[in-house]
Amino acid sequence: MAGLEGSGLVIFKGDLNYRKLTGDVQWPAGTTFEEAMGPLAGKLPILSLRTNKADVIAGLPKELVEKMDSDRETNGWRTNGRWGVITFIPKA
Ligand SMILES: O=P(O)(O)OC[C@@]1(O)O[C@H](CO)[C@@H](O)[C@@H]1O
């Protein structure tokens, strides 16, 4: 993080970086991105661009995650690379 403190925007690209940002944990549906990030949340303005390739997901409404997990049409949405998430966490 050294050297990034004054940044206007820090962009994280990719599934692996998303997993690093969120601890690579299978969070309960409805977990906020800030909760998943832990102490880094609010320290920098962060934009995360990610194509979903792993089970970990955070920052989406609980109802949406549960619907995506259970609907046949979205089967595999967490891992099949056909869905993505864009997340912005401002500096506090
Ligand atoms: O975001 P991208 O470029 O599609 O995926 C980045 C990546 O490092 O994340 C995955 C591991 O989580 C790898 O399969 C893949 O190479």
pLDDT of residue 1: 72
Mean pLDDT of 58-65: 98
CB of 54 closer than 6 A to ligand 1? yes
Does residue 14 surpass a pLDDT of 80?
Answer: yes
Angstrom CA distances, 70 to 28, 37, 85, stand at 15, 26, 18
Q: Round the average pLDDT of the chain to a whole number and report it.
A: 96
What one-letter code names the amino acid at 80? N
Q: What is the largest CA-CA distance in the chain?
A: 45
Does residue 67 surpass a pLDDT of 80?
Answer: yes
Cβ atoms < 10 Å from Cβ of 86: 9
Alpha carbon of 15 to ligand 1 centroid (Å): 5
CB of 14 closer than 6 A to ligand 1? yes
Dihedral of CA 26/28/33/39: which sign?
A: negative
pLDDT of residue 74: 98
Share of residues in the chain with pLDDT > 90 (%): 93
Q: Are 44 and 5 in contact (CB under 8 A)?
A: yes
Q: Are 1 and 40 in contact (CB under 8 A)?
A: yes
pLDDT digits (tens, 9 = 90+) for 19-50: 999 999 999 999 999 999 999 999 999 999 99
CB of 51 closer than 6 A to ligand 1? yes
Domain ranges in the chain? 10-79
